[in-house]
């Protein structure tokens, strides 16, 4: 079967299966020959032949090939996307609702930033399956006794309810941090999440409406970071304002979750969210990564004028951080979505496409899973990739319908028979192309037109109707 017909047929089959809500399955690890391929290398589109064996890219064609595809320079390969900030896969219920959406959207790496140990223990075996997104879990989430996200997770926001829950650790002073540290460390994981929210405004603690929306005092955040680093743990800090951003930098955290200006829950002036050039320079010098989360702004349903003001702050903050060389990571914090929502939000803010794709396919997955060879197509790199119908640098919408999803050499599919049979006989789409051309009675055109046609057939992914509860 010619490549174009193969892709059209496979896309149609996947769409049909998706409509029946079949879970994704993974084939055995396949050997691949991808002739006349184009792929994004982090800066530009490269061309050549690619080979896969035993789950990694290799320099030479394997002795036996399970999938032989002549891409004819039309389709484009990219590494899978990564989501650095979400909460929808940290419970068994959320996993059942959203895990396949991650695979649908080509997001194969994710970080869940506020799970409790018991819930995460139920999910870890699911995340270890070959057809699942790979997830880094934070199980030590720390805020003040009146802090965020208590208002979101409690049925009734009160001091009594806050003290009774066990998902979030409550700490109100450096002394309490030291006393509670053994129990915090016992929650497991390699990351600690701390919350700074309106830390420059202590008067808000006297307002009942702000209960559950605040966070740690700066000296407590600094002590928790010191304790974590002494025990080899990394720290990610939730921030709201530019002052919180500065407090997180002063504490020495490794990552800052949220670009200031993603939300304005206290109805503050836009300038309170503007990062200074000095702060951006300090973030770059300390190599403190910043998770963007600009897509989450849409969840707050701001009026047009305040929304436009916040978007301008976001543009300015991104520009300052990029100019200083501070690391950026892609994360959405959209409970019913994935990093793909953040890619489109950043694209609308004017972020350069090549930079955007590099952040999503290289910088972010490598930050989530350090030490692994992710986001590359060189020999020895993990053979995980998406096949797109066209060039995402020219048209970012190409990301919205991957034609193929491959994880460590395994084809991910909703069709059990395709997953089971993929590793059997060698398949060559190139050899079948000649008879098809003769039947047409003229020289066949490249595969561009059929491939583009295939991108329009699958239906858009349905969105959950329930309102997301952000944490």
Residue 7 in this model has a pLDDT that exceeds 90:
no
Separation between Cα atoms, residue 222 and residue 208, nearest integer Å: 26
* One domain for residues 73 and 85: no
Question: So what's the pLDDT on residue 119?
Answer: 96
Residue with tokens 């010619």: 2
Residue 443 in this model has a pLDDT that exceeds 50:
no
* One domain for residues 358 and 426: no
pLDDT tens string 164-183: 998 999 999 999 999 999 99
Question: So what's the pLDDT on residue 163?
Answer: 93
pTM of the predicted model as reported, rounded to 2 decimal places: 0.86
Q: Half-sphere exposure (CA, 13 Å, Cβ side) for 16?
A: 8
What CATH number does the domain containing 133 carry? 3.20.20.140
Residue 308 in this model has a pLDDT that exceeds 50:
yes
Check if the beta carbon of residue 51 is closer than 8 Å to that of residue 32.
yes
* One domain for residues 280 and 380: no
* One domain for residues 129 and 242: yes
Question: So what's the pLDDT on residue 267?
Answer: 86
pLDDT tens string 185-244: 999 999 999 999 999 999 999 899 999 999 999 999 999 999 999 999 999 999 999 999
In a domain, 168, yes or no: yes
Domain count, the chain: 2
- Tokens standing for residue 466: 């329930």
* One domain for residues 72 and 105: no
In a domain, 358, yes or no: yes
Residue 128 in this model has a pLDDT that exceeds 50:
yes
Residue 468 in this model has a pLDDT that exceeds 70:
no
In the chain, % of residues over pLDDT 70: 86
Question: So what's the pLDDT on residue 179?
Answer: 98
In the chain, % of residues over pLDDT 90: 80
- Tokens standing for residue 158: 């009160």
Question: So what's the pLDDT on residue 462?
Answer: 40
Question: So what's the pLDDT on residue 465?
Answer: 38
* One domain for residues 303 and 328: yes
* One domain for residues 199 and 293: yes
Residue 423 in this model has a pLDDT that exceeds 80:
no
Residue 118 in this model has a pLDDT that exceeds 70:
yes
Listed residue (12, 14, 30) closest to 106, CA to CA:
14
* One domain for residues 93 and 48: no
Strand pairing report for 45-53 and 385-388 = unpaired
Question: So what's the pLDDT on residue 454?
Answer: 40
What CATH number does the domain containing 50 carry? 2.30.40.10
Residue 435's contacts (CB-CB under 8 Å, 6 or more residues apart) are none
In a domain, 301, yes or no: yes
Choosing from 368, 399, 420, the residue where a domain stops is 368
Residue 447 in this model has a pLDDT that exceeds 70:
no
Q: Looking at per-residue confidence, does 7 or 163 come out higher?
A: 163
Listed residue (322, 238, 241, 239) closest to 274, CA to CA:
241
Question: So what's the pLDDT on residue 421?
Answer: 84
Structure confidence at residue 453 as a pLDDT band (50, 70, 90): very low
Residue 424's contacts (CB-CB under 8 Å, 6 or more residues apart) are 66
Question: So what's the pLDDT on residue 418?
Answer: 87
In a domain, 260, yes or no: yes
In a domain, 463, yes or no: no
pLDDT tens string 362-419: 999 999 999 999 999 999 999 999 999 999 999 999 999 999 999 999 999 999 888 8
Question: So what's the pLDDT on residue 426?
Answer: 62
For residue 163, give its domain range.
Answer: 81-368
In a domain, 467, yes or no: no
Choosing from 368, 386, 406, the residue where a domain stops is 368
Question: So what's the pLDDT on residue 416?
Answer: 87
Check if the beta carbon of residue 89 is closer than 8 Å to that of residue 110.
yes
* One domain for residues 364 and 385: no
Choosing from 329, 345, 368, the residue where a domain stops is 368
Residue 466 in this model has a pLDDT that exceeds 70:
no
Question: So what's the pLDDT on residue 141?
Answer: 97
In a domain, 466, yes or no: no
Question: So what's the pLDDT on residue 436?
Answer: 35
In a domain, 462, yes or no: no
Collapsing DSSP to helix, strand or coil, 396 comes out as: helix
pLDDT tens string 243-278: 999 999 999 999 999 999 999 988 899 999 999 999
* One domain for residues 196 and 289: yes
Check if the beta carbon of residue 242 is closer than 8 Å to that of residue 274.
yes
Across the chain, mean pLDDT equals: 88
* One domain for residues 154 and 299: yes
Residue 67's contacts (CB-CB under 8 Å, 6 or more residues apart) are 30, 31, 32, 33, 411, 422, 427
* One domain for residues 200 and 238: yes
Q: Looking at per-residue confidence, does 341 or 467 come out higher?
A: 341
């Amino acid at each position: 079967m010619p490549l174009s017909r193969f892709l059209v047929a496979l896309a149609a089959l996947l769409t049909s299966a998706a409509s029946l809500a079949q879970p994704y399955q993974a084939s055995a690890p396949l050997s691949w020959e991808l002739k006349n391929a184009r792929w994004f290398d982090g800066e530009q589109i490269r061309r050549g032949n690619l080979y896969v064996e035993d789950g990694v890219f290799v320099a030479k064609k394997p002795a036996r090939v399970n999938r032989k595809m002549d891409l004819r320079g039309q389709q484009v390969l990219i590494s899978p996307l990564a989501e650095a900030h979400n909460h929808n896969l940290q419970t068994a219920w959320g996993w059942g609702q959203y895990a396949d959406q991650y695979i649908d959207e080509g997001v194969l790496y994710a970080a869940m930033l506020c799970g409790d140990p018991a819930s995460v223990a139920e999910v870890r075996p699911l995340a270890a399956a070959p057809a699942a997104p790979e997830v880094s879990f934070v199980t030590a989430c720390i805020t003040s006794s009146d802090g965020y996200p208590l208002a979101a997770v409690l049925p009734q926001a009160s001091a009594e309810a806050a003290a009774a829950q066990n998902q979030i650790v409550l700490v109100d002073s450096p002394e309490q941090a030291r006393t509670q540290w053994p129990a915090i460390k016992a929650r497991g994981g390699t990351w600690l999440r701390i919350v700074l929210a309106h830390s420059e405004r202590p008067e808000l603690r006297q307002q009942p409406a702000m209960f559950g929306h605040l966070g740690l005092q700066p000296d407590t955040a600094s002590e928790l970071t010191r304790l974590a680093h002494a025990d080899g743990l990394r720290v990610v800090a939730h921030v709201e304002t530019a002052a919180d951003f500065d407090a997180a930098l002063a504490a020495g955290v490794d990552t800052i979750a949220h670009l200031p200006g993603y939300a304005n829950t206290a109805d503050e002036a836009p300038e309170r969210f503007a990062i200074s050039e000095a702060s951006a320079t300090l973030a770059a010098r300390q190599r403190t990564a910043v998770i963007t989360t600009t897509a989450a702004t849409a969840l707050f349903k701001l009026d047009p004028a305040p929304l436009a003001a916040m978007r301008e702050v976001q543009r300015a903050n991104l520009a300052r951080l990029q100019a200083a060389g501070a690391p950026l990571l892609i994360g959405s914090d959209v409970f019913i979505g994935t990093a793909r929502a953040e890619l489109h939000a950043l694209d609308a803010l004017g972020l350069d496409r090549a930079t955007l794709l590099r952040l999503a396919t290289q910088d972010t997955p490598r930050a989530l899973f350090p030490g692994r060879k992710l986001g590359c197509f060189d020999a020895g790199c993990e053979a995980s990739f998406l096949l797109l119908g066209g060039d995402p640098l020219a048209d970012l919408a190409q990301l919205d319908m991957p034609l193929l999803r491959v994880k460590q050499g395994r084809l991910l599919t909703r069709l059990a028979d395709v997953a089971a049979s993929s590793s059997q006989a060698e398949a060559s789409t190139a050899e079948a192309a000649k008879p098809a051309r003769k039947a047409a009675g003229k020289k066949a055109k490249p595969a561009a037109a059929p491939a583009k046609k295939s991108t329009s057939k699958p239906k858009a992914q349905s969105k959950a109707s329930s309102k997301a509860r952000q944490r």
